[in-house]
Structure 1
Amino acid sequence: MTALTVRPGIGWEQARRRAFLWGLLPSLAVLLLITLAPATALLVASFTPLSLTDASATFHFRDPLGNYRHLLEDERFLHSIATQLKLSASSVALQLAVGLGLALLLNGRSRLLGATRTVFLIPMVLPPIVVALIWKIMYTPDVSPLHRALEAVGLPVRSLIANPDTALWAISIADTWQWFPFTMLMVLATLQMVPDEPLEAASLDGANRWQLFVYIVFPHIRPVLAVCGLFRLIDSFKAFPLIYVLTDGGPGTVTEVTNYYGFIQAFNFSYWGYASAIAMVILAGVFALSWLVGRLGWNEHDKR
């Protein structure tokens, strides 16, 4: 009797798994086509001296690690990594700070706050090239309303993107303007779910607003900030349109980040194998940084 009861269950479970796998196959095929196949081709190319200027030596593997050894000796590449880390650190920190601050200010249920939140979401939905063009105008003294306003009050300012001391910060500000709404939206959604009971109890016990934020609100939004930081950290390695339009990697190589240096090697000098090695290093770096952020231990719920 027991065997008769179990066998239909096992058969149904196997059928369910088989149907699940068959339903998953189209998605896996598309994933393989658009992600794994190009990534594999990129990895293979990074082991070769692939170059459009030297077709005879395109695909050979006599020195598969040659590109990676050359990267360790390439001072311009090492400088691009330092520039990328500076840009990522500054832009992500600014986006988290501005997004968190505005989320706390706009946390409410009035119509005015709702309309204001909608306005703040506009930069995030604009195409990156449009954002780059907007900030190109803002940073060009001859046409910038910001520069003209400063000149009107007697505070003329040099072009921020033409100054080696401020060019990277100018890109970081433009990137923050576009993507702080992402953090703001995520934090706002979390603030709406913070229970009222602990806040009311702490207020009755004499806690001020800062103590309410530090001991009650922040522990609730800390995991969300970690997720926002992780997503924005990954996306910070893709700040190509801003750099291409605003500075073209200059002045000099001050704003030349790693992916832009790879672009120059591939499309300016046709060193596709070397550029592929640069892309693989970027990919490995993103995975390493993502793992590091995930190991920070901000999500106390996962620990429990």
Structure 2
Amino acid sequence: MLTSESGTAAAPLRPGGSLERWVERHLRFLMLGPTVLILLGLTIFPSIYMFYAAVHKISPNPDLPWTFVGAGNFVRLFSDTQFHVALWNTTVFTIAAVTAEFVLGLGLALLLDKYIRKLTFLKTVLMIPMMLPPIAVAITWKLIYEPQFGVLNEIMFRLGLPLQAWAGDVNLAMFSIIVADVWQWTPFIFLLMLAGLASLPVEPYEAAALDGASSWQQFRDLTLPFLKPVIAIALLLRVMDALRLFDLVFILTGGGPADRTKVLSLYIYQVAYRFADPGYAAAMSLFVLFVTIVLSTWFMKRMRLAE
């Protein structure tokens, strides 16, 4: 402690002034400030704007005022046959694509984890499709499906099989889109499953082997229960992404033929920009958001109850 010349104790020195003390007290808020501003600009404000637009009739003429219609845009969803078609196509695509990706991804992860663990380069090769831009993937598959000069029809010709208009056939268009999506996003499931398998404990498997449990029994009674949290995350992320499919459909088929591949994201785009009805498009976007939230909540609750 410092003392003065008279021998009395002097008051301790305080570093900094009032500004420094204020900054120290509010430092956490100051550091969160830029993040909050970015969140407001990129997420919260557009969401509020979309809610506002969904209850209005918006004219293509920017000089005309918006007309409040309340729930009119949402009621319109029940009578819009094109919306029903897009909803059905989205459901079919989501179920088929995510199921195929999960089965293939889990199978590849089990195969590489158990039998060919040392082939690290093969794991890298399998993850390449996931790292490609969706537009590049869509253009690549468009060239593959090209009826006259595409690689796939060339293979069919050499095998003596009939040529197909893959993306232009009403019976094959959705299948073609599902195949392209499975090719791109199976590596995502594979990567998550491989990480989950690498984190599994060894002791339960050793005990099961001593008890004479077969490989299938170990997989059913040990691997699947241990992987349940990883499986839940993988399926949830893929379902959420599949519900907003746009790139592949827009480039490969444009929603055709005969609306067989028209999905919700594409229809929302058409309503907003081709039909110049952004209010109705906002209502459909909110419907997709609501369905995604409901499915996510239900799925997570089911996974917790199954634990």
User: How far is the alpha carbon of 1:42 from its aligned partner?
Assistant: 1.0
Choose which of 96, 108, 111 in structure 2 pairs with 1:105: 111
Residue matched to 1:12: none
CA drift of 1:298 comes to: 5.2
CA RMSD of aligned residues (A): 2.0
Instruction: State how 1:127-206 maps to structure 2 within 5 Å.
Output: 127-206=133-212
* Offset of residue 53 of structure 1: 4.6
Percent of residue pairs bearing the same amino acid type: 34
Matched, 1:20 2:28: yes
Q: 1:59 aligns with which of 66, 74, 95?
A: 66
State the shift of 1:18 in Å. Answer: 4.8
* 1:290 aligns to 2:290 (yes or no): no
Partner Cα distance (1:111, 1:170) in 2: 32
Distance in 2, Cα, partners of 1:225 & 1:55: 51
Among 42, 54, 69, the alignment partner of 1:46 is 54
Q: Which runs of 5+ in 1 are unaligned?
A: 1-14
Cα distance, 1:53–1:265 mapped onto 2, change above 3 Å: farther
How many residue pairs get matched? 285
Q: CA deviation at 1:108?
A: 5.2
Shift of 1:175: 0.9
Q: Residues 192-215 of structure 1: CA distance to partner in whole angstroms, max 9, x if unpaired?
A: 111111111211211111111111
Separation (CA, whole Å) in 2 of partners of 1:20 and 1:53: 46
Looking at structure 2, the residues matched to 262 and 293 of structure 1 have their Cα atoms a distance apart, in angstroms, of 26
Alpha-carbon displacement from aligned partner over 1:31-84 (angstroms, at most 9, x marks no partner): 11100101111110111111215842x4132x2211111121111111111111
For 2:123, which of 117, 123, 131 is the aligned residue?
117
**TM-score normalised according to structure 1 size:** 0.88
Contact residue 259 and residue 278 of structure 1 kept, 8 A:
no
Letter in 1 for 2:130: M
Distance 1:206 1:69 in 2: 60
Structure with greater proportional helix content: 1
Instruction: Give the structure-2-normalised TM-score.
Output: 0.87
Cα distance in 1, alignment partners of residues 196 and 111 from structure 2:
14
Correspondences of 1:58-77 after superposition (within 5 Å): 58-61=65-68, 63-77=69-83
CA contact (8 A) 2:59 2:66 kept: no
* Counterpart Cα distance in 2 of 1:195 and 1:293: 26
- In 1: Cα distance, 2:305 partner to 2:194 partner: 18
Find 1:249's aligned residue among 245, 248, 255.
255
The question of whether the paired residues in 1 share the 8 Å contact of 2:145 and 2:151 is answered with: no
